[in-house]
Amino acid sequence: MAESAADVLPIRSGDDIVRVRQQVRIRAVAAGFSLVDQTKLVTAASELARNTLDHGGGGRVRIESVDLGGRRGVRLTFEDEGPGIPDIARALQDGFTTGTGLGLGLGGAKRLTNEFSIDSAPGKGTRIVIARWKSV
Amino acid sequence: MDRIPILKMGDALLITIQVDMHDRLAIALEDDLTQKIVQTRAKGVLIDISSLEIVDSFIGRMLDNIAAVSRILDAETVVVGMRPAVAITLVELGLSLTGVKTALNVERGMTLIGKRVATIRGPSGRERG
């Protein structure tokens, strides 16, 4: 798998979320995504960046362009050292929230991407990896 | 601090969201708008989101809140100008904006609000009740 250099952006404020969206958009355009695919990935990134800020107490995202046998995509890795998610299955349900949002963040981000994985435990922080591939 | 301008157009207030919204801006907008509704006795609020490249659940919640507060203050909210890619994404995200009326553009949104005003005022043009 060939990969170009990754960007790592901090997520410490609302303004950082805006920068994450902009950078993800640039990568999605470079990978040849359609406008709808760009919009889905940027929206998923926005949801997860907000989770990192609101629930994880801040963290970072790693943004990578990926190429799997000629199929191009963008992979995002969100990490924080926050309280972690005690019950991941429940956190993925629509409408479940411990914050002030609508509780659509995790489940919504999962629906908007092709690959989704969570690694989290109470007290250990959270790591979420998503990827979306260019539609063929 | 940045603020989003609120313009009065007849019986409606028009808000054009052109920038990437962040928390403070959204809260300031809700505050400004509720005051303006009371001051101007507006019967409708048009929110033009044609410049927005994405609507996530944060913005969705803001639109729902604005619609709910406006309704209590006797003004109807119409969200106009949503881009097709944004609409497709919103549905997949699971956000259907059930509390918010929508129209394709500002003109159609104004027509919706105009109809509501006509119903409230009746044929005499005076406010009933």
Subunit contact A39:B85, Cβ cutoff 8 A? yes
Which range among A55-59, A78-82, A92-96, B11-15 shows the weakest confidence by mean pLDDT?
A: A92-96
Q: Supply the pLDDT for residue B1.
A: 60
Q: Residue A134: what residue type?
A: K
Chain B contact present for A135, CB below 8 A: no
Longest dimension (CA), chain A: 42
Q: Supply the pLDDT for residue A23.
A: 97
Q: What is the pLDDT of residues B94-121, one digit of tens each?
A: 888 888 999 999 999 999 999 988 888 8
**Positive/negative CA dihedral, A119, A122, A123, A126:** positive
Which residues on B lie below 8 Å from A111 (Cβ)? 92-94
CB A73 within 8 A of CB A32: no
DSSP letters for chain A: -EEPPPEEEEE-SHHHHHHHHHHHHHHHHHTT--HHHHHHHHHHHHHHHHHHHHTTSSEEEEEEEEEETTEEEEEEEEEE-SS--S-HHHHTSTT--SSSS-S-HHHHHHHTSSEEEEEEETTTEEEEEEEEE---
Subunit contact A104:B57, Cβ cutoff 8 A? yes
Please give the structure tokens belonging to residue A128: 């979420």
Kindly list the residues of chain B whose beta carbon comes within 8 Å of any beta carbon in chain A: 20, 22-24, 53-58, 60-61, 83-86, 88-89, 92-95
Quick one: pLDDT band at residue A101, thresholds 50, 70, 90?
low
Point out which residues pair with B53 in neighbouring strands: none
Which residues on B lie below 8 Å from A17 (Cβ)? 22
Which residues on B lie below 8 Å from A104 (Cβ)? 57, 93-95
DSSP letters for B39-54: HHT-SEEEEE-TT-S-
Q: Is the pLDDT of residue A65 over 60?
A: yes
Across the interface, of A18, A21, A101, the residue whose CB is closest to B57 is A101
Please give the structure tokens belonging to residue B47: 């929110």
Q: Is the pLDDT of residue A1 over 60?
A: no
Quote the CA–CA distance of B5 and A121 in Å, as a whole number.
44
- Nearest chain B alpha carbon to A93: B94
Please give the structure tokens belonging to residue B45: 């609020």
Tell me, what's the ipTM?
A: 0.86
Domain boundaries along the sequence of chain A:
2-133
Quote the CATH superfamily of domain A2-133: Histidine kinase-like ATPase, C-terminal domain (3.30.565.10)
Domain boundaries along the sequence of chain B:
6-121
Chain B contact present for A97, CB below 8 A: no
With a pLDDT cut of 90, the percent of chain A lying above it is 66
When the pLDDT of each residue in chain A is averaged and rounded to a whole number, the result is 89
Quote the CA–CA distance of A104 and A58 in Å, as a whole number.
19
Quick one: pLDDT band at residue B126, thresholds 50, 70, 90?
low
Instruction: Judge: domain B6-121, CATH 3.30.750.24.
Output: yes
- Nearest chain B alpha carbon to A20: B20
Subunit contact A36:B61, Cβ cutoff 8 A? no
Residue contacts between A and B (CB atoms, under 8 Å): 66
Q: What is the pLDDT of residues B16-67, one digit of tens each?
A: 998 777 777 888 899 999 999 999 999 999 999 999 999 998 888 889 999 9
Pairing label, strands A125-133, A71-80: antiparallel
Q: Supply the pLDDT for residue A2.
A: 47
**Positive/negative CA dihedral, B78, B90, A80, A121:** positive
Question: A66-70, long-range: CB within 8 Å, 24+ apart, which pairs?
Answer: A66/A1, A66/A3, A66/A131, A67/A1, A67/A2, A67/A3, A68/A1, A68/A133
Our CA-based measurement puts residue B105 at a distance from the nearest CA of chain A, in whole angstroms, of 20
Report CA Rg, chain A.
14
Q: What is the pLDDT of residues A20-50, one digit of tens each?
A: 999 999 999 999 999 999 999 999 999 999 9
